[in-house]
Amino acid sequence: MTFSPLQEVVFLGTAIVNFLIGVFVLFKNPRSIVNWSFFCFACGIAVWIGSLVLVFITKSIIFDRVILMAGTTLLFGLVLLAKTFPNSSQIKKSFWLTLIPFIPICVAIPFGIFVSGIEVSANGAVAPINTPWFPLYAFFFGFYVIFSIILFFRNYRKLSDLARLKMKYLFFGAATFGITGFVFSAVLPFLGVFDLNFMGILGSIVFVTFTAYALVRHQLMDIRVVIQKSLIYATLLGVIVSLYLLSALHIGLIIPEHLSVMISAGLSVVVGIISVFLIEIYSKKRVEEKTSHLKELREKEKQIMVDISHGLQTPLTILKSELESLRHHVKLPSLSALDKSVDDISKFIYDFLNLSKLETAQANFIWEKVNLSRLLSDTSEYFSTLAEAKHINVVVNIQPDIFVTGDKNRLEELVTNLLSNSVKYMHNGGEKKIVIALNKNRGPIELSVSDTGIGISSEDLPHIFDRFYRAKNGDDIHGTGLGLAICKTIAERHNGTITVESSPGFGTAFIVKF
């Protein structure tokens, strides 16, 4: 293994970029285990690449063993990433037991169990002297790589659409890394081109960058956009490589070889930087134009919904009044059913109008300091009376004096909708219980409403907050399908999040965090 000055610069630059990306992701959310996993993975790659250069420069066995330790670190990060990506899922104690082999491997590396020394040839090339135990390390590495791939695919099957999109970013980055390494380290050397084999390591930046992007972005671009841009850059890379080869060939006929390599490399870099800059300007301009157009269409759509809802309310009010008048003069059994239908339509239009206003600038929020504990206690007390009539036990666990900045009426609407949902979808037999909890420890304020109702299937969970969506096991229960969409919008307007955990037959828990 030998390195030219240009290769040394590329390797060290790649190591620094990988390390900085790892640090950036870690600082985005230092409490997240998935971010720590990624940090271990990115730093492992960075140290591994940097140590390859340092072994050649120093001819020291220390850096050769650092390479093995870095490989073990990136492997450890990869396994944890496969387990926790993309939603920072908790790691059970039983899983940690599967990582015990990392301990003896890390202990053995500094004592030269796998690599006993290095060999320097006459031309300055450096090669490790592997011991008979080295195949054990190779088996260990290969086993956990396969184990990680299995974990990734197992997680992929259980994820929502957005989480799967994040996983596609990771897969695409890994594929780019693999293809880049294969082309520059295998295909080109097979064709007799050896000057570019060091560029295969640049694919690690793509892999690390794509994974980092999936972790730190909440609303991701469509994967097709990323693939299209990647194909553009891949084509650009091909042009730059061709330019490098042609310029190196022609310049080498005039000036010494080492100078021709530096000049052609510099020329290729300049062309690459200018091309990327122009492509980014053009892409950014197109994205901004499309985004602006989509926002305008979305606002028009919301305004149309508001106008339609307003327009329907007036004739319904008149119809309701006429029905009341008719009831005093004619006694027909069908009048009650007709009256109920009008009420249902009015409720639907009210909810739809309410949601449309919440999603536009027409929702006039009155921001103030709200005693969330008191608000929740008052609302719970009211619902306890209703629940008793249906033999539902209401358990309240509210931490006192928790305040939040928000609109009191909207927050009350959020809580009321969640409690109404729990009462509405309570099963007829078995234990009937609703638990209302509010607490704030070191993290965010957490409000939860859980019940022992009919529950929600795993198929319905990803769509439960969508407009008009009704769970399959709740089709026979009356409702507009807008209540949870309103809850989600109110939570988000208060810079909060709402999630749901449920299992059919065992109940549902809604968790709101501020």
pTM above 0.85, yes or no: no
Please state, in angstroms and rounded to a whole number, the distance separating the CA atoms of residues 280 and 30: 31
* Minimum mean pLDDT range among 3-17, 32-46, 402-416: 3-17
Fold of 297-358: Helix Hairpins (1.10.287)
| pLDDT number for residue 23 | 84
| 429-442 average pLDDT score | 83
| The CA-based dihedral angle spanning residues 289, 295, 300, 306, taken in that order and rounded to the nearest 10 degrees | 180
**C-alpha angle 429-461-416 in degrees, rounded to nearest 5:** 65
> What is the widest separation between alpha-carbon atoms in the chain?
113
Domains 5-220 and 368-513 share a fold: no
**For the chain, domain boundaries:** 5-220, 297-358, 368-513
Which of 119-133, 334-348, 360-374, 495-509 has the highest mean predicted lDDT (pLDDT)? 495-509
Range 5-220 classified under CATH 1.20.1070: yes
Taking 50 as the threshold, does the pLDDT of residue 84 lie above it?
A: yes
Could you tell me the pLDDT band of residue 5, with boundaries at 50, 70 and 90?
low
Structure tokens of 408? 């009191």
Q: 497 to each of 302, 400, 446, 470, 507, how far by Cα in Å?
A: 22, 21, 10, 21, 20
Architecture of domain 368-513: 2-Layer Sandwich (3.30)
Mean predicted lDDT score pLDDT of the chain: 73
Which of 19-33, 186-200, 240-254, 277-291 has the highest mean predicted lDDT (pLDDT)? 19-33
pLDDT digits (tens, 9 = 90+) for 351-381: 666 666 666 655 677 788 889 888 888 888 8
Could you tell me the pLDDT band of residue 218, with boundaries at 50, 70 and 90?
very low
Could you tell me the pLDDT band of residue 233, with boundaries at 50, 70 and 90?
low
Please state, in angstroms and rounded to a whole number, the distance separating the CA atoms of residues 319 and 133: 87
